[in-house]
A = this chain, B = another copy of it.
Amino acid sequence: SAETNLRLTLPLTCVILEVILIILFAVLVEYDHETDAKLWHKHLLQHNDSNYNNDFYYRYPSFQDVHVMIFVGFGFLMTFLQRYGFSSVAFNFLIAAFALQWATLMQGFFHGMHGGKIHIGVESMINADFCTGSVLISFGALLGKTSPVQLLLMAVFEVTLFATNEYILLSILQAKDAGGSMTIHTFGAYFGLVVARVLYRPQLDKSKHKNCSVYHSDLFAMIGTIYLWMFWPSFNSAITAHGDDQHRTVMNTYYSLAACTLATFAMSSLVGPGGKLDMVHIQNAALAGGVAVGTAGEMMLTPFGSMAVGFLAGTISTLGYKFLSPVMEKKLKIQDTCGVHNLHGMPGILGAVVGAVTASLATREVYGDGSDVFPEIYAGNFSASEQGVRQAISLAVTLGMALVGGVIVGFILKLPIYSGPPDTICFEDAIYWEVPGEMESQEELGTVMSEEVQKPLNS
């Protein structure tokens, strides 16, 4: 239909954005000293260093895991929708490919220029993927209800807001948030929820029959879930300091997620009709443990501490999916397709709180000398309590940024100029995609299957 015809809007948006990016990169972006041929060789000579000490080897494996989470994890987790798989994977792909380039510029600007240039390397790539993650979280709240043009535009603004917030938290407030419980999860979730509220669709129940999964789409989604779960330790540790920090963050996240999984299965069965498990919980809530130790992961949270946090996160998240999301939809008019509030919102706040508490307990007895985790405390610039307070303020700033930014961007996206779908055909690939046939056998498959499920009940 003309209303959802992308032919003018999408090519124009993509081309304009990419041309601007290329021009800005030409003017502003350079290889950093570990990536540039001349600078690296100069470094080797001056510091008598070895090629084996190029930061590439100490960050790239973790970077690749983060990259897989962004493109496979998020992309496939959202394929649970029965008729929106193409859009889920491919719009995720598109937004992420754009956002990581734009984030390189935004974060580079805030991070500090070198002689008027932004320097890039594996660490800036990790940070760009982190920023992209928060845009994809917001996408999750809006999944099925926007055009790709709206998503690209949202990314333009959200990346800028993310970079600003990140700068305020990490550079001004000197907060620690290695795994982004605040900068990525809390920010991305509440920003997305506010945008969803502004874009509230009163007739969305007309598309209700598509806002759900079918058997095999739930299996595709599990590909996403399992990858996110397995690689979250790399995510939380990717930009922590070399050595024990990376190692410890991986362990804390690993144990938090393991405990979270047990909690999720327990809660899901407890609240399910006939004690049955719900795939939505397993797909999403089992990941909350990773979010909840995003901030504290690099701290001396202790293994059992990580497990306790993870168990709590899985419990809260599952109960959120079961009881809170319906309420938020009815009372607050927030139509949160993926339930990001339950996976990234509440666990993000939990992560910030756990981080604040753990930071306020940082002592020399626990951390020893020369801690990379709390350089300011160790330099004597402020006490552990003060660090804890700064963490708490950071949470407040993040929420404020997400709420205000979400309202503004929400109204920008409300303009009817982006080829968005009407309420009646949301969660539907056929609007934006040439969708192939499905096969007659599927239809017969349905009949045969429902007969068989009946048999044991009747016997």
Contacts and interface: CB of A to CB of B under 8 A. Distances in A.
A321 interface: no
B94 A275 contact: no
Given A64-B65, A441-B446, A18 B434 contact: no
A222 B75 CA distance: 10
Interface stretch (A79-87, A337-345, A346-354, A393-401): A79-87
Interface string A78-109: 01001101100110011001101100000000
Interface in A287-304: 300, 302-304
Dominant SS at the A interface?
helix
Interface stretch (A190-198, A259-267, A379-387): A259-267
A434 B10 contact: no
A275 B6 CA distance: 5
Contact of A438 (B125, B241, B449): B449
Contacts of A22: 259, 304, 307-308, 311
B35 A247 contact: yes
Interface stretch (A24-32, A156-164, A326-334): A24-32
Nearest to A38: B368
A251 B31 contact: yes
Interface string A200-213: 00000010011011
A415 interface: no
Contacts of A54: 242-244, 246-247
Contact of A64 (B37, B85, B230, B368): B230
Contact of A86 (B120, B219, B368): B219
Contacts of A44: 243
B440 A125 contact: no
Interface in A236-290: 241-248, 250-251, 254-255, 257-259, 261-263, 265-267, 269-270, 272-279, 282, 286
A262 B443 contact: no
Interface stretch (A138-146, A167-175, A403-411, A424-432): A424-432
Contact of A441 (B36, B206, B209, B422): B209
A455 interface: yes
A455 B424 contact: yes
Most buried by B among A261, A272, A435, A442: A442
A428 B449 contact: yes
Given A10-B265, A448-B209, A251 B35 contact: yes
A37 B367 contact: yes
A432 B276 contact: yes
A64 B226 CA distance: 13
A227 interface: yes
A442 B214 contact: yes
A230 B286 contact: no
B214 A437 contact: yes
A353 B45 CA distance: 33
B75 A436 contact: no
A36 B244 contact: yes
Interface string A210-233: 101111101110110011011100
A37 B300 contact: yes
Contact of A277 (B365, B432, B450): B432
B247 A56 contact: yes
A385 to B, nearest CB: 19
A51 B242 contact: yes
Contact of A215 (B52, B85, B98, B286): B85
Given A214-B441, A422-B456, 10 more contacts: A7-B272, A38-B369, A42-B369, A44-B243, A51-B242, A52-B53, A86-B279, A278-B433, A428-B453, A439-B443
Going nearest first, the 6 A-B pairs with the smallest beta carbon separation are A38-B368, A7-B275, A51-B243, A439-B446, A440-B446, A441-B441
